[in-house]
Chain A
Amino acid sequence: MKTTPPVASSSRRTWLQSLALAGSAGGLSSCSQSSQPAPGLGPRSKADYSNEEYVWISPNANLPLYKAHDHPALELAARELGVKVTLAGPSTTDMPSFLTMIETIAVRRPAGMMVNAWDPSATIGPIAKAMAAGVPVITVDADAPASKRITFVGTNWYDLGVRQGEAMVKALAGRTGKIALLGMIEQYIDIQAFAGFRSAVEKAGVTVMDPQHDRGNQAVAAQVAGSILQSTPDLVGMAGFDSESGPGIGLAVKEAGKTGKIIVTCVDADPVHLNLIKEGVITAAVGQKRELFTYLGLKVLFDLNHSPVRFSADDRKAGLFPAPEIIHTGTYTVTRENVDVFLKPA
C-alpha cells in the first residue's frame, strides 16, 4: 500500500480544500462576480466607495444577451463610480429560487439592488422585504409596477411593439392577410409588446393571430414558425418578441423558401439578427438600448444613496426619492438601409 508523507498529505488536502471552495463558489446558481474599481477611474467625489456593493439579480442570469450587453455596461458604470457590483440569480428560469435569492441578498444589506422582475406579481413580496430592510431597489429590463421599487429603467415594451408593428405595416405596403406572433407568451413584457404591435397593425386591416410560445429557444421558434408557415396559406408576416424568436423565424422562412414573401420583424439586433437583415430574411429588428439598463440603473442606485437633491426636510419619511419613477431607454430600428453601421464592431 502506498503511503504519502504527512507534509505532502496536508498540502494536498489544503490544495483540495481550496479547489473545493473555488468550485463551490462557482456552483449551480450563484452570486457569480464582483468587480473592484480599477485604479485611476475613481468616483465622482473624493470619497472612497469601493466597499459599496450593488447587486444585479435576474433569472437566467447567464443569458448570452445579458453577458453581451447588460453586464459589461454594469462593470463600466461600476468603474466610473468606484463601487463594487455583484451579478446574481439562477442560471435557469427557476422563479422560486430567484425570489429566494432576492430575499437572501437583501439580508446582506447591499447598498442597492437592481432586479430584473420577470414575474411582476411574484417579485412584489421580495422587493417589499428588501425595501423594508433598508435596501433601495430598482427594477431593470422587466418592471414590477405594483411593487415598492423606486425606479424602473428599461424599454417601454408597448412602444417596442408599436415600432415593430409600424415596420411591419410599412413593409407590407398594403398587403393584407395574417401575421403570426412568437415569444414568451406568459411574460409581462411580451404581453405589452403584443398589445402595442396589434395597435399599430390592426389599423392596417391585417389579422393578428394568437401568439405562440417559442420558449425563448431558437430551435423551438424554428419548429413553431415552420408549422405556422405550412398551416396558414394567407400568412403575410411573422413577428418575434424575444431574442431567439427572430433567428428561429428567419431559419424557418429561409428553409421554406419564402424569403422576401413573408415579412419578418423581431426584437434585438445582435450579429445573428443583423446577418439575417443583410440576407433580406428579416425586414426590421427593433433593438433595445440594453446597456443603459444597467449603466443608468447603477447610477440611479448610487444617487439614491449620495444625491444632494432634497425635496423636503425628511424625504425618506415622506416617501420621496431623488430619482425618476420610470426611465424608458428607447429603441432603435435596424433595416437593410442602416444594417452596415451596426455590423461594424463598436
Chain B
Amino acid sequence: MTETATQASPSGAPRRGWKPPTWLTRETILIALTLLAIAGATAAFPRSFPTFANLSTLLRNTALDGVISCGMVVLMVSGVFDLSVGSMFSMIGVLTAWMMTSGQVPVPLAILAGLGLAALGGALNGVVVAKVRVNALITTLGTMQIFRGIAVLVGGPGIANLPPSFSRLGQAEWLGLQSPIWLMLAVAVIGQWLLSKTRFFRKYYYIGANAKAAHLSGIPVDRMLIAAFTLSGLLAGLAGMTFAARVATASSTAGDAAELRIITAVILGGASLTGGRGTVWGTLVGVLFISLINNVMIFAGLKSEWQSIVIGSVLIVAVALDHFLSRKN
C-alpha cells in the first residue's frame, strides 16, 4: 500500500503533494523548448537567424519529413509504427521517375500510378500486420528491405533528366515558399482536423488505448489498421515523389534512415510507442524541433556529432519528464 504524505489545506481537506497543472505535457514542454531555441538563436545571431530566408530554408528541409510524420502519427496513435517509410520514399520516387523516363508514361499518369503503388505498399503492410498477425516491427522491417531493394534495382545510380513539367511541381513557389512547404501545411491541417474531429479517425485513439476493448465495442480494428498503413504508405510515397520533383532526380537512397528520424519526431511531439496519444500539431512541432536544433547548431559552429547527442538527450528527457508528470497526475 502506497503511503502519501498529506497535510491539511487551509480549507481543512487533505492535500496529496504537488500535482502538476494539466497543461504541462510533453507537447507544451516541446513547444517551450522550441521557443527557447528560437529566442536564444535570435539573440545570438540577430542578423542571420531570424530572417525569411533562413525560415524558408528550415521549413523547406523539414516539409517532407512533416508529410510522412502525419501518416506515422496515425499509426502510433493506434499503437503500431512503420519502419518502411524511408524506403517507400525512395522507391516511389524512383518508380515514378522510371515510368516518366524509360516508361514514357505521361507525367499525370505516372504520378497517379506512383501514388497507387504507394498505397498498395502501405496496404500490404496493413494486411500482414492486421490479418496475418505479424507484428508491425517485423513486418515493416521486412518491407523496408524489400522496398529499398526495389529502389536500387530500378533506380540504379539515380534517374536524372526528369520532365520539367514534373520538376516544376516540386520547385514552384507561392508567397516565397516552395511547394513542399505548402504540401506539408495542407496535409497537416487536413490531418489534424481528421484526427481530432472525425469519428472515424478518433477511433484510432481507442484502438491504441486498448485494441481488444475497441474490437469488442464494435470498432473494425483490422480494417482501420489496414487503412492507417495505407495512408502512411501513400504519404511516404507522395513525399518521395515531391522530393524527386524538387531535385529533378530520383535517388534510390534518398529516404535512407528517415524512419528513425520521423519516429523520434512523432514521439517528441507527444505520441507513445504503446499508442493512445499524439496529435498532428504536436508531431509537426517535433519535426520542426529536430530541424531547428540542427539549424541552430550549425549556426553555433558545433560539430555534427553534437547534434545527434542533443536530439537523443532531449528525446529521453522529454519522455521521462512526461512519464513523471503523468504519474503525478
Inter-chain contacts of B312 with A (CB < 8 A): none
In the complex where A28-B145, A64-B156, A271-B158 touch, is A229 in contact with B254 (Cβ < 8 A)? no
Smallest CB separation, B181 vs chain A (Å): 11
Whether the Cβ atoms of A67 and B157 lie closer than 8 Å is yes
Inter-chain contacts of B257 with A (CB < 8 A): 215, 217
Smallest CB separation, B308 vs chain A (Å): 9
Stretch at the interface among B54-62, B125-133, B224-232: B54-62
Inter-chain contacts of B51 with A (CB < 8 A): 230
Inter-chain contacts of B161 with A (CB < 8 A): 271, 275
Whether the Cβ atoms of A64 and B152 lie closer than 8 Å is yes
Whether the Cβ atoms of B247 and A251 lie closer than 8 Å is yes
Q: Is the interface of A mostly helix, strand, loop or mixed?
A: helix
Smallest CB separation, A42 vs chain B (Å): 30
Whether the Cβ atoms of B149 and A213 lie closer than 8 Å is no
Whether the Cβ atoms of A247 and B298 lie closer than 8 Å is no
Whether the Cβ atoms of A231 and B298 lie closer than 8 Å is yes
CB closest residue in chain B, given A228: B298
Q: Is A62 an interface residue (CB 8 A)?
A: yes
Most buried by B among A218, A231, A233: A231
Interface flags, A218-257, vs B, CB<8A=1, else 0: 1100111011111101000000000010010001100110
Inter-chain contacts of B251 with A (CB < 8 A): 64, 218, 244, 247, 272
Smallest CB separation, B140 vs chain A (Å): 14
Smallest CB separation, B170 vs chain A (Å): 11
Whether the Cβ atoms of B145 and A227 lie closer than 8 Å is no
For window 235-288 of chain A, which residues contact chain B by CB distance below 8 Å? 244, 247, 251-252, 255-256, 270-272, 275
Whether the Cβ atoms of B253 and A229 lie closer than 8 Å is no
How many Å lie between the Cα of A26 and that of B146 in the bound state? 10
Smallest CB separation, A292 vs chain B (Å): 17
Q: Is A50 an interface residue (CB 8 A)?
A: no
Set A62, A210, A217, A272: member contacting B158, Cβ < 8 A: A272
Interface flags, A186-214, vs B, CB<8A=1, else 0: 00000000000000000000000111110
Q: Is B314 an interface residue (CB 8 A)?
A: no
Q: Is A19 an interface residue (CB 8 A)?
A: no
Whether the Cβ atoms of A226 and B57 lie closer than 8 Å is yes
How many Å lie between the Cα of A216 and that of B295 in the bound state? 18
Smallest CB separation, A73 vs chain B (Å): 14
Inter-chain contacts of A64 with B (CB < 8 A): 152, 155-158, 251-253
Whether the Cβ atoms of B158 and A231 lie closer than 8 Å is no
CB closest residue in chain A, given B252: A64
Smallest CB separation, B178 vs chain A (Å): 7
For window 285-311 of chain A, which residues contact chain B by CB distance below 8 Å? none
CB closest residue in chain B, given A274: B160
Interface residues on chain B, size class: 35 or more
Whether the Cβ atoms of A63 and B294 lie closer than 8 Å is no
Smallest CB separation, B63 vs chain A (Å): 11
For window 157-185 of chain B, which residues contact chain A by CB distance below 8 Å? 157-158, 160-161, 178
Chain A residues within 8 Å of chain B by Cβ, number = 41
In the complex where A67-B152, A231-B45 touch, is A222 in contact with B61 (Cβ < 8 A)? yes
Smallest CB separation, B233 vs chain A (Å): 19
Inter-chain contacts of A20 with B (CB < 8 A): none
Stretch at the interface among B71-79, B107-115, B191-199, B299-307: B299-307
CB closest residue in chain B, given A251: B247
In the complex where A68-B156, A229-B57, A271-B160 touch, is A224 in contact with B294 (Cβ < 8 A)? yes
Inter-chain contacts of A271 with B (CB < 8 A): 157-158, 160-161
How many Å lie between the Cα of A65 and that of B49 in the bound state? 36
Q: Is B322 an interface residue (CB 8 A)?
A: no
How many Å lie between the Cα of A203 and that of B264 in the bound state? 43
Smallest CB separation, A178 vs chain B (Å): 10
Whether the Cβ atoms of A255 and B57 lie closer than 8 Å is yes
Whether the Cβ atoms of A210 and B156 lie closer than 8 Å is no
In the complex where A64-B155, A271-B160, A272-B158 touch, is A219 in contact with B57 (Cβ < 8 A)? no
Smallest CB separation, B102 vs chain A (Å): 14
Whether the Cβ atoms of A212 and B152 lie closer than 8 Å is no
Smallest CB separation, B256 vs chain A (Å): 6
Smallest CB separation, B90 vs chain A (Å): 10
How many Å lie between the Cα of A8 and that of B250 in the bound state? 45
Inter-chain contacts of B289 with A (CB < 8 A): none
How many Å lie between the Cα of A218 and that of B161 in the bound state? 17
Q: Is A117 an interface residue (CB 8 A)?
A: no
17 residue pairs bridging A and B, Cβ less than 8 Å apart: A26-B149, A64-B152, A64-B155, A64-B156, A64-B253, A67-B157, A68-B156, A91-B145, A210-B303, A212-B304, A217-B257, A219-B243, A222-B247, A223-B294, A227-B299, A228-B298, A231-B48
Given contacts A210-B301, A215-B256, A255-B60, 16 further A-B contacts (CB under 8 A): A64-B155, A64-B252, A67-B156, A67-B157, A68-B156, A91-B152, A185-B304, A212-B303, A217-B256, A218-B251, A223-B61, A223-B291, A226-B57, A227-B295, A271-B157, A271-B161
